[in-house]
Each structure stands twice: as C-alpha cells, then as structure tokens.
A = this chain, B = another copy of it.
Amino acid sequence: MTSKKAILFIIDGLGDLPTPKTPLQAAKKPNLDRLAKNGCTGLLSPLGRGVVPGSDTSHLRLLGYDPEAFYCGRGPLEALGVGMKLEEGDVAFRANFATVKNGQVVDRRAGRIPTSEARELEKYLSTKIEDVEIIFKHSVQHRGVVVFRGSGLSPMVSDTDPHGEGQVAECIPCDQIGEASKTARIVNKYMKFAIQRLSEVPENKERIRKNLPPANALLLRGAGAYKKVPSIIERFGLNSVCIAGGALYRGVATYIGMDVYMVLGDPSTGMIKLEEKVKAVENAIKNYDFIFLHVKATDNYGHDGDFKGKKETIEKIDKEIIPVLERSGAYLIITGDHSTPCSRREHSGHEVPILIYGRDERPDKVKKFDEISCMAGGLGHIEGKDVMPIILNLIGKAEKYGS
C-alpha cells in the first residue's frame, strides 16, 4: 500500500427523496460518479435504520464514538466549537440574541443582528450568580454560547427559548435532584440579568434609534454537561484533523481530541469557501493520518427546501473538492451525516449514500453516486458504528481481535 491515510468527507444532509429525481441524481458530478464506478458504494444509516439523526450524535457515531456512551448534549459541543475551554461538569447552552417587547419574544434572532454588532454585546454578558461563574461567548450573527461553571450543576433543565411565539420560557428542572433545581434557578436569574443589562447598553439604544429590533434578551437551548472523553488518538491511534466551518463540527472534533484546522471563514457568517477548504486539505494531508472534512451548505439548502441550491452545491463540490481528494492518494470515505430531503425541510431517517474509494479496494458494479444507484452497492446497508472500523481497516490501523 502506498497510502495509509484516509479522508472522511461528510457532505451534511446529503441524502434526499426523489421529486422525481434527488439532487444527487439531478446533479452533474462526473468526479463523484467516477469514484463510484471505481470504488465501492452502499447506504448508511448513521444511528440505525429509520432513526432520524441529529447532527451532533451522527458525527460522534461516524467518528467512532457511540452517542449512548459519549453524547454530552449540544451546548458543550458548540462551546468547544467556538474555542472555549471547558471543565468537567460545566453546563453549556446554545444562545440566541432575541428581541423582547412587553415581555414577549417578538424576534427570536433580534433582526438577524450582524456578527460585528452582536460581538460588541459579548462583553456585557459574563457575570457571577450565587457561586456560579457564567461565561458568554458570541459566535456568528445572533448566535453564541453560555457556560455555567460551579459546583452542583446539572444539564437536566429545560430551554428558555420558547421555540416560537411567547415569553422567554422559564427554565424548569427536569428531575427531582437538587442540582437541576439550582441550575434552573441560576439560569432564570441569568435570563433576567441579561434582559436588564442589554436594555441599558448603548449598542441597543443605537439599534432602537435606527428602528432596528434591539438584541435585548438571550434565549438558551440544548443544555449539556461537559465531560472529558478518551481521545481519538488514545482510542484508535489516529493522528487526525478536522476541516470544517461550523462550530458544531469543530466542537465535536475538539471534544474527541482531534486537531482543528484553522481556516479563516467569512467574518460575518463563519462560512468557509470551498477553495479554502481545498487548500487546507492539501496541507493537512502531509501531517495527518486522518482528515475529517465537512461541508454544511447541502444541509442548509435541504432545510430551506431549495432543490436547485442543493444540486448546485453538489456540482461545486464535485468540481472543486473531489479532484483534490482523489489526488491526495488517501483512502476516501464520502457520505452524509443524515438525509435532509428538500421536500421535508428537516432531517429524516432515510439512508445516506456512502462511497469508499482506494486504489487497492474492491470495486462494485455501481456507476453513479446517488440514493437509488447505491441500493445495489457492494457495501450493502451499513450503520454509523461500522464506519470507523472500516476506516481503520482501510489504512491498516485496526487492531486484530483475537490472535
């Protein structure tokens, strides 16, 4: 074998349903189809047949981490993804800037406040309540994370995001243990603190003067408690790196001890251009055994019901990324973390096409990379739990079971 490296390329929300074609079927993607022709294909259920995967649990599973044992909730993964250092027991939430008027949430995204303005508000939002240190960090646009650090906290509390119309929801303890009660009490005090504080700051007075919705409240969701887990190098001996724009994916990678390649994204959206990712891959392949490469846009188009956008993104990926991956000489594993059918505008439990390519690997008879063609693929129907063992086997890093 000339190559002992592997690239896992996750095209987010890749799978779709036929209307009458799927975006993958409709896209012109000669490079992906050539890899399918020369490689081996199949269908992947990240978390089991029919199960609708979250992005966090699915990525953990594909990277060899069973979410039943290793899932810590979304909040800590997002916090790690925006570069926060977490300590065992920290309870983290995703946070949105929102606009509240007469006690009602009138805009869950504070008029989609731009990154540059929202960042200015970060400095007002860290504080201490009782014995708990609270750290707010802004990420992009209206988004950020909040970390609660102190003794006796629990992630078993409800969101304050009403996920629709209404008031800022009261944080409610979800179990009868005192830690959840304490956490909920502090979260509720923090919600009042944030409204009080944000109502006074000059940045919001300026927004009101300009007739823009002020970012005068925070909405929290996705509580989770950080715990340290054995790293991907400890578990699999993989010297590995993540190339991704989205905070969640960088967070998952950080959580399992991967390096995260610092690629400069668009300062206002965090989005990274494909050509930047391509450069990152070309550099990273020199120093790492295993690259986890992620593209998010396909999923966004699925959520927007934008068939054309999804199809064109696939075509762009095919043109700009696939040849670079092929030239790298690494084993390629190309798939998605779940289906996001444009007709449903949300994640679904439908299988995702998967393609494995390596010069010395077994080819199947499939000639195209799409949901229907891959039904006849030589990999058959695999699950997320199968992916890391397959990768380790490809690059000769699997430990023999028995002797």
Contacts and interface: CB of A to CB of B under 8 A. Distances in A.
Interface of A: 1, 17-19, 22, 40, 43, 47-58, 67, 71, 74, 222, 343-344, 347-350, 360-365, 371-372, 375-382, 386, 388-393, 396, 398-403
The 3 closest A-B pairs by CB, nearest first: A54-B402, A57-B402, A50-B389
Nearest to A57: B402
Nearest to A361: B17
Contact of A400 (B53, B344, B396): B53
A113 B52 CA distance: 52
Question: How many copies of this chain sit in the oligomeric assembly?
Answer: 2
B52 A360 contact: no
A56 B402 CA distance: 6
A109 to B, nearest CB: 18
Contact of A402 (B22, B53, B349, B399): B53
Contacts of A57: 401-403
A72 to B, nearest CB: 11
Contact of A390 (B347, B349, B375): B349
Contacts of A371: 362
A150 B320 CA distance: 67
Contacts of A402: 53-58, 67, 71, 74
B398 A52 contact: yes
A197 B402 CA distance: 32
Contact of A49 (B52, B365, B386): B386
A400 B360 contact: no
7 contacts: A43-B380, A51-B401, A57-B402, A343-B360, A350-B393, A379-B381, A381-B381
B363 A18 contact: yes
Contacts of A360: 17-19, 343
Contact of A52 (B74, B350, B382, B399): B399
Contacts of A364: 372, 375
